[in-house]
Structure 1
């Protein structure tokens, strides 16, 4: 009998612990936001979006328009954006994002877009947002990561409604970024000199084909290495591989927060910071935040490189995925706009 009671007690303890853990996970994945699915009109095609508003306060709120990086991203970036949305909400801002064309059944195909197309799409979304109740049209800004660094300056140049820009790990020049990424990835996996030489040669052949306008089929027929590529992706690269932010960034007149990771193997953070500092010289216009141990996603490298740790935090404590201070520095930046 005593053994039976011990077993029942142990089982009850396990159940209580599991319920407590489950409750903690639910709590950590609840955000102080009011999210609504919206249809954004006014551009080339309707966009399936999410508008996330603060839950408290009175009167109109500002708006941060989220501009995706590369890839087939949905509106929440698989929930990755929600901690940022919550930080913006604490500063009195709503957030707007959308499924890329072709994602989640949205019309269109994001691989058919140029960086200019993406900027036009962003400006159209701003125009739509200005008509929405409760949005302050004088406090609208852009948040974007990686590839969005070529999109946002174009949009800010086109639209006087853009009052600030938050640029997370953007690059300057598409081709330079690609070469930096190639070499950094090879170095990280300790490639041999022969492997490095071969990878550079493959990359050079691909770039030459893009520069000369060859199609995917022509390149493949000539023996080109198309590993990891599709015809759509090839055309996307061919359309955008000459992207460079310098001219558009030179026309930006609004405050810019530049956030960079010191362990970024996708983008050369030092090169990006140098260019932004050289171009954005108006006193007080540029703020730079460096996270020395962070990757391209502004996640500590030790976390991102551990599938176990990153998965656990993504589920149990998603706000803790990011480098310390990352969410707060964005909240402080947007809170100061319009004061």
Structure 2
């Protein structure tokens, strides 16, 4: 039976079409859907006890409220389970989409790895998600950066947090947010980037072509999808209103009004200048990339980071890993992914990924 491919939504060339290949739902949003469903599977299989053990993370989570320009952000501060205070903190910067504070539980193994290095982790639901006020689709990348800065200011004043040990963790779309924040703040002392993009438009085209190739699209399907992408680029470049976009688009599944506004605001995003500014700070940066990423051109990303950041950069490329650093074998099989997510969620990640987080943070 045909299944739906959902491309990453932060790029203008994104396509959605029906094909006979397996369903791919990119980035962490997939697991926010699968993990609750996986609980049902665990009960059916009678392995609830195993699931409890597999989800017993050595962290203590605290629900927090962070003041921001959008109003209030519904957040989680994950503390090391047993450690002396004060501790450093890693502030999480989401990728694209309506992501909640834990990314549907996906962040928990990462938080545990950072906790093992003596760091707390701070994350929050995007504006309009969960208890957070506002609308994340109304944000520019500069708005997102200001939101991260507000969160840093808030957490640096928290009892038990060492304000001299603040790091940033950013994924995918955060490539246009985290470097800008780190470049401008002396209190950010290191950065971990997972599958970040460099240029919005180039990455959109890369994602489009990679998904078409993976789907074994026919020449006709390819030409049609490329034409849709080119038409969308034209309308963005002409700053078309939503009414004009709907009147002229050849996309069979047009964007929503909010999504179009988000694209109009952000499609010129490019990380190069912020990376150059970050170089002058000389702080350690860890770049984590999956060799089978279809959303981000990891060769372009690595080259841009190496050229601009120089010796302050550490790069880890993982074979058999997708955009989220989930193992390809898990990403490609829905029910296997569900089973792993509920029973042994740490094994969602490609081998070495969680240790890379811990070892890098341990040196900061």
Shift in CA distance, 139/322, structure 1 to aligned 2, threshold 3 Å: same
Q: Report deviation, 1:228.
A: 5.0
| SS class of match (1:58) | coil
2:142 and 2:68 map into 1 onto residues whose CA distance is: 16
Aligned mate of 2:273, from 224, 247, 251:
247
The separation in 2 between residues aligned to 1:256 and 1:240, in whole angstroms, is 25
2:96 to 70, 83, 93: 70
Match of 1:260 among 285, 289, 297: 289
Select 2:47's aligned residue among 5, 8, 21: 21
The residue aligned with 2:30 is none
Q: CA deviation at 1:311?
A: 0.6
Q: Does residue 313 of structure 1 match 2:340?
A: yes
User: Aligned partners of 1:141 and 1:85: how far apart in 2?
Assistant: 13
Structure with higher Rg: it is 1
- How far 1:21 sits from its partner (Å)? 2.5
Cα deviations across residues 120-139 of structure 1 (Å, max 9, x unaligned)? 10011000001100000000
Is 1:189 matched up with 2:218?
Answer: no
Q: Work out whether residues 47 and 106 of structure 1, in 8 Å CA contact, stay in contact via their aligned partners in 2.
A: yes
Q: Distance in 2 between matches of 1:110 and 1:44?
A: 9
* Distance in 1 separating the partners of 2:269 and 2:224: 26
Superposition misfits of 4+ residues, deviation over 4 angstroms: 17-20
Instruction: State how far apart, in whole Å, the 2-side matches of 1:33 and 1:202 are.
Output: 46
- Aligned counterpart, 2:361: 334
* 1:224 Cα deviation from its structure 2 partner: 3.6
1:72-92 deviations in Å (ceiling 9; x for gaps): 000000000000000010000
Contact kept in structure 2, 1:42 and 1:127, CA below 8 Å: no
| Count of aligned pairs | 319
Q: Secondary structure at the match of 1:280?
A: helix
Candidates 103, 106, 128, aligned match of 1:80: 106
User: Aligned with 1:181: secondary structure?
Assistant: helix
The separation in 2 between residues aligned to 1:80 and 1:19, in whole angstroms, is: 22
Q: Give runs of aligned pairs for residues 86-101 of structure 1, distance below 5 A.
A: 86-101=112-127
| Cα displacement string for residues 31-55 of structure 1 (whole angstroms, at most 9, x for unaligned residues) | 1111111011254422110000011
Give SS of 1:65's match: strand
Distance 1:72 1:18, change over 3 A: closer
How far apart, in 1, do the equivalents of 2:46 and 2:136 lie?
42
The answer as to whether partners of 2:197 and 2:203 remain within 8 angstroms in 1 is yes
1:167 alignment counterpart: 193
Consecutive unaligned residues in structure 1, runs of 5 or more:
1-16
Instruction: Assess if the C-alpha contact under 8 Å between 2:246 and 2:254 holds in 1.
Output: no
Structure 2 residue ranges without an equivalent (≥5):
1-42
Give 3-state SS (helix, strand or coil) of 2:177's partner: helix
1:129 to 114, 130, 155: 155
| SS of corresponding position for 1:142 | strand
Query: What are the equivalent positions in structure 2 for 1:1-339 lying under 5 Å apart?
Result: 21-225=47-251, 227=253, 229-252=255-278, 253-281=282-310, 284-337=311-364
RMSD (Å), alpha carbons: 1.5
Q: Distance in 1 between matches of 2:155 and 2:138?
A: 24
Say if 1:255 and 1:18 are closer, same or farther in 2 by CA, change over 3 A. Answer: same
CA distance in 2, matches of 1:296, 1:64: 21
Greater Cα shift, 39-48 or 266-275: 39-48
Given the two structures, how large is their TM-score scaled by the length of structure 1? Answer: 0.91
Separation of aligned partners in 1, 2:253 and 2:335 = 29
Task: Report the alpha carbon displacement of residue 20 of structure 1 after superposing the two structures with TM.
Answer: 7.5
Structure 2 counterpart SS, 1:201: helix
Counterpart secondary structure, 1:165: strand
How far apart in 2 are the matches of 1:119 and 1:223?
31
